Amino acid sequence: MSTTGRVVVGAHRRGKYLWLPLDSGDAILGHLGMSGQLLVQPADAPDERHLRVRFRLGGDSAGDFMRELRFVDQRMFGGLSLSLGGADLPSEIAHIARDPMDPLFDDRAFVAAVRRRGSAIKRILLDQTVVSGVGNIYADEALWRSRLHGDRVGVKLRPTDVRRLLDDVRAVMSAALADGGTSFDTLYVNVNGESGYFDRSLQAYGQEGKPCSRGGAPVRRIAFMSRSSYFCPTCHPRPRVRRAA
């Protein structure tokens, strides 16, 4: 399948994936990984050091291209592919749930799904088949706002707890978007090369040893799925584990 002569008719996202539907009914499917960027550049701009893929856009009557869409990725964890018939939704990502900012996200279905599961609520938030777009950082921040420990089990949460958590997830994501995201090194920049600064607003994630701004106790860190979870022991007491008699 060739993209030559095809027209990009939109831009969509699902979880950490994005796709550009083409007028052929196919799509360019992309995942930025940790350091990938899609840049629209003048055709005569110097190649970026880590340029991986180039699409020439448009063209004048003489056949000269004015702009290019470039995929640049230093760490090479991202990638682009062509999805046959994937204009509406690529089959490769059909299993991924909508994210909470999606206008078609089903709040009632999310509450029901959480309350059917015996998993810890933080694991559920990171389960892409239940909800997408909530990474490790934003899960900790939303749980901090909701005063819920990440080990609380879904089936034991009240509907009001889950709805409040969903509201807090949206609040965290909205604030992060307004701040340009969370940048911990120079690779995490937007298309204009600007870093996000939501990390300055973090209340839980990465705050180990610092006093919680609400509960006052030092924030704690525990291992979680090869990563870390951060919480205030005052605001988020661990759920009690019943011991067998």
- Please indicate, yes or no, if residue 120 is contained in any of the structural domains: yes
Give the CATH number of the domain where residue 24 resides. 3.20.190.10
Instruction: Please say if the pLDDT value at position 244 is more than 50.
Output: no
Query: Same structural domain for residues 61 and 86?
Result: yes
- Please indicate, yes or no, if residue 151 is contained in any of the structural domains: yes
Query: Same structural domain for residues 126 and 65?
Result: no
- Please indicate, yes or no, if residue 7 is contained in any of the structural domains: no
Q: Which amino acid is at 10?
A: G
Total tally of structural domains belonging to the chain: 2
Task: Identify the weakest region by mean pLDDT among 169-173, 191-195, 235-239.
Answer: 191-195
- Please indicate, yes or no, if residue 183 is contained in any of the structural domains: yes
Query: Same structural domain for residues 113 and 77?
Result: no
Cα(69)–Cα(56) distance, integer angstroms = 6
Instruction: Please say if the pLDDT value at position 176 is more than 70.
Output: yes
Rounded mean pLDDT of 192-202?
56
- Please indicate, yes or no, if residue 240 is contained in any of the structural domains: no
Stronger pLDDT, 199 or 90, i.e. the higher one: 90
Instruction: Please say if the pLDDT value at position 183 is more than 60.
Output: no
Centre a 10 Å sphere on the Cβ of residue 199 and count the other Cβ atoms it contains: 17
Query: Same structural domain for residues 216 and 125?
Result: yes
Per the structure block, which two tokens stand in for 120?
A: 């810890």
Strands 67-72 and 37-42: antiparallel
φ, ψ (nearest 5 deg) of residue 55: -115, 125
Nearest by Cα to 37 from 16, 57, 51: 51
Determine contact, residues 219/212, Cβ cutoff 8 Å: yes
Cα(73)–Cα(124) distance, integer angstroms = 30
Query: Same structural domain for residues 141 and 203?
Result: yes
Q: Which residues contact 141 (CB under 8 A, 6 or more apart)?
A: 172, 202, 203, 204, 205
The confidence score (pLDDT) of residue 160 equals 98
What is the chain's mean pLDDT, rounded?
87
What percentage of the chain exceeds 70 in pLDDT?
86
Instruction: Please say if the pLDDT value at position 245 is more than 50.
Output: no
Q: Which amino acid is at 96?
A: I
Stated pTM of the model: 0.79
Determine contact, residues 91/83, Cβ cutoff 8 Å: yes
Per the structure block, which two tokens stand in for 114?
A: 């959480």
Cα(212)–Cα(220) distance, integer angstroms = 10
Cα(25)–Cα(183) distance, integer angstroms = 36
φ, ψ (nearest 5 deg) of residue 69: -100, 120
- Please indicate, yes or no, if residue 239 is contained in any of the structural domains: no
Give the CATH number of the domain where residue 125 resides. 1.10.8.50
Per the structure block, which two tokens stand in for 142?
A: 């939303």
Strands (DSSP E) along 58-146, which ranges? Answer: 67-72, 79-83
∠ CA(107), CA(94), CA(75), 5° rounding? 105
Residue-range definition of the domain harbouring residue 151: 107-231
Tell me the pLDDT tens digit for each residue of 80-111: 999 999 999 999 999 999 999 999 999 999 99
CA distance from start to end of the chain: 65
Tell me the pLDDT tens digit for each residue of 113-131: 999 999 999 999 999 999 9
Count CA atoms within 13 Å of residue 137 on its CB side: 16
Query: Same structural domain for residues 44 and 137?
Result: no
**Domain boundary residue among 58, 93, 128?**
93
- Please indicate, yes or no, if residue 209 is contained in any of the structural domains: yes
- Fill in the DSSP letter of residue 183: -
